[in-house]
Amino acid sequence: MIMTNNSEPKKILFGTNGVRGIIGEDMNPELVMKIGLSLGTMIQGRVALGRDTRTSGEALAAAMRSGLLASGCDVIDLGILPTPALQYLVREHYDGGAMITASHNPPDYNGVKVIEGDGTEMDDPRTIALESLIFSEDVRIADWKSVGKLTDESHLIEEYIRAIVSHFPPDCCKGMVVVVDPGSGPAAATTPEILRRMGCTVHTINGRFDGTFPGRLPEPSPEGLALLSETVVATKAAFGVAHDGDADRAVFVDERGTFMNENLTFAMLARAACRRNPGIVVTPVSTSDVIREVAADCGCTTTYTPVGSIHVARTMLKLIAAGERVAFGGEGNGGQIFPNHQFCRDGGMTAAAMAELVAGSTRSISTIADEIPPYTMVKEKIHSDDPAAILSKVRSACAELDLNETDGIHIRWDDAWALIRPSGTEPFIRLYAESRDPVRAEEVKTYLLSLL
């Protein structure tokens, strides 16, 4: 924990979604065992443990298991599974969870995501408390009578698969051909099976667990998905779906093999959710205005949060607790949250929802996508050692405009918006500008760059 100028404690080890590092450099079993001891000290209950397919996963999982058991927690080993599967099972059965994963990072990375008993990722105040235990080493070490017990319940992955399939009418996708690219990650055990049970004919590529990621990197980038695109075209599939390294995100290629922008697929799924069950759509301030527009077309409103899926999930829960109806949530990176399922991003659920949407239409996925209004978003990453000074410069230069400081500074014009946001961990400022008109988006970006 460090104190910033305004004396607010900040996270050091943990970023937006857990702690990550390079194996042999800043990520190792010693650190993970300390996290296990500290987490176990906080939870004092039954903790589920899962991992993705990285080569370092077994070593780090063993360290986490050791720390948790030594603190007196019982550990339930769920083996290799998607992060949302672990989150679902924690909410159903356990007091907390730890996922050994580096999500979309390259193969030499690994890390830990910490899950609360309600299945959501740990929030900032609790993460800061966890970090202070890690640094102070003021942890509970159980005596010989109270060390934890280890059990294997990896068969419970079946419960997660069934939970997703249960949200859709039986055989709603009968006969539809779909290609799945789990990228050698944990969704190889879930997404193809989910879609098959919904009636799809499923072809899988990169479908074997492999921490060397021989087919493509864990980030499902357009360049990495060339084989998925080719396979979709060759098999005349309705679409292709790919996951990141821990399958909380899902990205799509259309029936022509073209990569679909994640804000576009978010808009398609949000529109379907709003039509079926009108309510608020929750998303970070960095998301495309297309979400606001499709929600408004369905008579729904949009609530904005700071960047990070944890803020989206917790805002959805808060709104529901306050008696509001929440239709959908998500980020413009393929991370979608379905409030009828669970309050975290879920790549398997996202794939299933898209399958239902396409199977229920007489049109192709690209034709459905064409109904969504096009927006152009441009981004820039600017080096800065003093982000606060830049923010105050923007604040005074744009004082007459519509400003919102939920996270960074969000500026709204009639025909465009922009976001200037310091990175939480690096000396960078991120600049986003968006408009229906590509020229206008560039113009806004150029104007803001001139201010900086």
Residues tagged active-site: 103
Query: Which residues between 372 and 411 bind Mg ion (CB under 5 A)?
Result: none
CB 87 within 8 A of CB 156: no
Among 121, 131, 181, 246, indicate the residue that binds Mg ion (CB under 5 A): 246
* DSSP strand pairing (109-116 vs 376-383): unpaired
User: Shortest Cβ distance from residue 102 to Mg ion (Å)?
Assistant: 9
Q: CB nearer to Mg ion: give 244 or 331.
A: 244
**Shortest Å, Cβ 104 to Mg ion:** 5
Give whichever of 20 and 271 is closer to Mg ion, judged by the CB atom: 20
| Extended strands (E) in 81-149 | 96-100, 109-116
* Residue 93 CB neighbour total at 10 angstroms: 16
Q: How far is the CB of 221 from Mg ion (least distance, A)?
A: 13
| Interface mask toward Mg ion for 192-231; x: CB under 5 A | ----------------------------------------
Q: Which is nearer to Mg ion, 18 or 422 (CB)?
A: 18
99-102-105 Cα angle (round to 5): 165
Query: Closest residue (Cβ) to Mg ion?
Result: 103
- Quote helix, strand, coil % in the chain, to nearest 5: 35, 25, 40
Helix (H) or strand (E) holding 404: strand 402-404
Rule CB under 5 A: is residue 103 a binding residue for Mg ion? yes
Among 52, 121, 131, 248, binds Mg ion (CB under 5 A): 248
What's the closest the beta carbon of residue 248 comes to Mg ion, in angstroms? 4
Given a contact cutoff of 8 angstroms between Cβ atoms, the answer to whether 357 and 368 are in contact is yes
**Footprint of Mg ion on 5-44 (CB under 5 A):** none
- Candidates 71-79, 146-154, 239-247, 406-414; binding stretch for Mg ion (CB under 5 A): 239-247
If one asks whether residue 244 binds Mg ion (CB under 5 A), the answer comes out as yes
The nearest distance, CB 381 to Mg ion, in angstroms, is 21
Residue with tokens 């993460």: 127
Select 303 or 333, whichever has its Cβ closest to Mg ion: 333
Cβ proximity to Mg ion: between 56 and 103 the closer is 103
The site that binds Mg ion (CB under 5 A) totals a number of residues, namely 4
Neighbouring C-beta atoms of residue 371, cutoff 10 Å:
11
Contact present, 315 and 305 (Cβ < 8 Å): yes
Q: Which residues bind Mg ion (CB under 5 A)?
A: 103, 244, 246, 248
